[in-house]
Homo-oligomer: A and B are copies of this chain.
Amino acid sequence: MATANRNPEIRKDAVNNRLVILSPARSRRPSDFKSKTQAKSDSNPSSNAQPQCPFCAGNEHQCAPEIFRTPEDSTSDWNVRVIENLYPALSRDPEVKSEGEEYVHANSASGEVSLGGFGFHDVIIESPVHSVHLPDLSPSGVAVVLLAYKKRIEQLCAIDSISYVQVFKNHGASAGASMSHSHSQILALPVIPSTASTRLNSMKEYHDQTGKCVLCNIRTNKLLIDESTHFISISPFASTFAFETWIVPRYHSSHYHELDEDKAADLGGLLKLTLQKLSIQLNDPPYNFMIHTSPLQVTSSQLPYTHWYIQIVPQLSTIGGFEMGTGCYINPVFPEDAAKILREVEVP
């Protein structure tokens, strides 16, 4: 890319208040380890897992209990299943005890917190067929998955002590996935995680200064990739990862679960297109996506400045001690360049 001659630059966006170092020169450094792309059998499981895969149609009995399926009334065929995670990070028991609590109580000014690990951890199986991945579905097939997230979030909203719901997808081993069958996850937490509260503060600050919602007003000049009736896809101004892409609603909306069927169909098309473009341009990379929504109990004064979006991150490199230490990432690809490249990718 002609861009390797650009100067390094430090950027911070107004949404997450997160620093990034953009540094094209970094992409030229050599490695004496086997390259990740060579070594990875990343999107392909070690064996043809179909017969033993618990997420495949026919193996439903190998899974933790089902929460619902679509279509809802079907007893055999299904498109999407929402199930409990068999190895949940949190316990569905609201009375779950914490052992750390006694230490913290013994030292009440310690500043430490320990809570029982109450919460919900679900898996969304996106297709009954092992080899069908999310972008292989039709736009309306993707919309079925998006509406399953919505429905499950609405159920979780009904539980008082749940403060935040994180929807995310891991695709490929280098993006953390342990299962190759297409799926995503939902974790419902009794606390608001730090990224969500930082984002809230940052969005409030922008609104205080400008009277506007930062995401309604987001920069698209040179950073726009595609647009649909209700959504845009962009490279964010302070992309923390090479080819990081956001899908942002063009209408103002605090919570993902406000999505209606019409908008889900539209989003299904744009999400499919975006994942296809990343797959073509970057050779089926491992990736994660995260839905960044607002805490469930936002007040009416917070509604004007909270706006949900989807962050898609291809995993092209391994982070190191600098990122772990500082929280600041080094990204070798300027977002202006990533946007231009992705705008021009032709999807057959």
Establish whether residues B318 and A173, one from each chain, have CB atoms under 8 Å apart when the complex forms.
Answer: yes
A89 at the binding interface (Cβ < 8 Å): yes
Establish whether residues A29 and B86, one from each chain, have CB atoms under 8 Å apart when the complex forms.
Answer: yes
Q: Decide yes or no: A111 and B202 within 8 Å by CB, A7-B98, A177-B33, A178-B29 being known contacts.
A: yes
CA distance A18 to B18 in the complex (A): 16
A300 at the binding interface (Cβ < 8 Å): no
Establish whether residues B111 and A33, one from each chain, have CB atoms under 8 Å apart when the complex forms.
Answer: no
A59 at the binding interface (Cβ < 8 Å): no
**Minimal Cβ-Cβ distance residue in B for A90:** B8
Chain A interface residues toward B at CB < 8 A: 6-14, 17-19, 21-23, 25-26, 28-34, 36, 39, 41-42, 45-47, 49, 52-53, 86-91, 96-100, 103, 107, 109-117, 164, 166, 168-170, 173-181, 185, 187, 189-191, 193-196, 202, 205-206, 209-210, 214, 219, 221-222, 237-238, 288-292, 311, 313, 317-322, 324-328, 330, 334, 336
CA distance A70 to B300 in the complex (A): 62
Name the one of B34, B91, B110, B195 contacting A326, with C-beta atoms under 8 angstroms.
Answer: B195
Q: Decide yes or no: A47 and B29 within 8 Å by CB, A113-B11, A321-B169, A321-B170 being known contacts.
A: no
CA distance A47 to B91 in the complex (A): 47
**Minimal Cβ-Cβ distance residue in B for A221:** B103
Q: Decide yes or no: A115 and B9 within 8 Å by CB, A33-B46, A173-B33 being known contacts.
A: yes
Q: Decide yes or no: A10 and B190 within 8 Å by CB, A176-B318, A289-B321 being known contacts.
A: yes
Name the one of B25, B52, B219 contacting A110, with C-beta atoms under 8 angstroms.
Answer: B219
Name the one of B6, B7, B89 contacting A330, with C-beta atoms under 8 angstroms.
Answer: B89
Query: Which residues of chain B are near A32, meaning CB under 8 Å?
Result: 45-47, 49, 52-53, 178-181
